[in-house]
Amino acid sequence: MPDRLLLLGGTGEALALARRLAEAMPDLSVVTSLAGRTLDPVLPPGEVRRGGFGGVDGLVRYLKNEKISLLVNATHPYAAEMSAHALAAREMADVALLRLLRPAWRKQPADSWIRAHDVQGAAGICKWLGRRVLLALGSQEIHHFAGVPRAHFVVRMVDAPAAPLPLENCEVIAGRGPFSLAEERRIILEYGIDLIVAKNSGGDATFAKIAAAREFSIPIVMVDRPEIALHPGCDSVPGVEEALAWIAAHRREAAARPRSDRAQPSHRR
């Protein structure tokens, strides 16, 4: 049976990996899965599916029905739920699982970061710090800031919200990154930003806000990456080329196994 790979996407790395796989392994059948949150996503080559699987059971069903043998979780470093489901489904569907996770940014001496365990914790910090706060967190967790008094929030999201945000005092900047350093400087100055709330996404695409905050000595409330999304106990690589090498090694290993073993893959690591 030919190898079939499910790529849990929604990130630049997933897009880049799908493109590299199409070039380097045209015989590998790749399905990219998108959560479906962005209205007009950049589509990768190969098959694409959109929307949730319906929890762990739905994911296991999908993996079995589609005869997937390789699962690559290239979701965002903060995609805790999808990551938890991928980890659980690995056992149940007996697929080989790889986490593709870009390295986190490291705080430099000129940075002023206040760590928050999660977005709720970040909202707690905003109760006593920051008057004009840039929320660069995406759209899903804005409600945590609903009870924060006195702050004016500038909320950045890819698509303008369909309904008013649950914040008393806010305005929205809609737009898809990457944002240049010049744009980030302009936003800080134009909106009078004195605090930024961000996730440690890592990579270049969203780094300019960190660089701009450093220049203006603006503090950042940096939300920790959720532990489960790091995929403890699972193979993990920081970049696309390493992922490609891992996939190639797995395919070689599977091909070298006797035919009788291949029906019941033993490729868990």
Residues that bind ligand NAP (CB under 6 A): 8-11, 33-35, 37, 52-55, 58-59, 75-76, 78-82, 85, 137-138, 140-141
Q: Is the dihedral of CA 14, 108, 206, 221 positive or negative?
A: positive
Q: Which is nearer to ligand NAP, 63 or 125 (CB)?
A: 63
Classify 224 in phi/psi space as left (phi over 0), alpha (psi -120 to 50) or beta. beta
Q: Which is nearer to ligand NAP, 96 or 137 (CB)?
A: 137
Q: Which is nearer to ligand NAP, 61 or 267 (CB)?
A: 61
Query: 111: Cβ–Cβ under 8 A, 6 or more apart, which residues?
Result: 210, 213, 214, 220
Q: How far is the CB of 50 from ligand NAP (least distance, A)?
A: 7
Q: Which is nearer to ligand NAP, 157 or 212 (CB)?
A: 157
Instruction: Indicate the residue type of 88.
Output: A
C-beta nearest to ligand NAP: residue: 52
Q: Which is nearer to ligand NAP, 69 or 200 (CB)?
A: 200
Q: Which is nearer to ligand NAP, 45 or 254 (CB)?
A: 45
Percent of the chain that is helix, strand, coil (3-state, to 5) = 35, 20, 45
Q: How far is the CB of 73 from ligand NAP (least distance, A)?
A: 8
Q: How far is the CB of 203 from ligand NAP (least distance, A)?
A: 11
**Which token pair is 262?**
């291949």
From 77, 199, 50, 202, select the one nearest 138 (Cα to Cα).
Answer: 199
Beta strands in the chain (DSSP E): 4-8, 29-34, 47-50, 70-73, 96-100, 113-116, 132-136, 152-157, 170-174, 195-199, 220-223, 235-237
Q: How far is the CB of 7 from ligand NAP (least distance, A)?
A: 8
What is d(CA 76, CA 83) in angstroms, rounded to the nearest whole number?
9
**Which token pair is 153?**
């929030």
What is d(CA 111, CA 126) in angstroms, rounded to the nearest whole number?
18
Contact (CB, 8 A) for 11 and 83 = no
Q: Can you tell me whether residue 262 is helix, strand or coil?
A: helix
Q: Which is nearer to ligand NAP, 163 or 255 (CB)?
A: 163
Q: How far is the CB of 39 from ligand NAP (least distance, A)?
A: 12
Q: How far is the CB of 40 from ligand NAP (least distance, A)?
A: 13
Q: How far is the CB of 121 from ligand NAP (least distance, A)?
A: 14
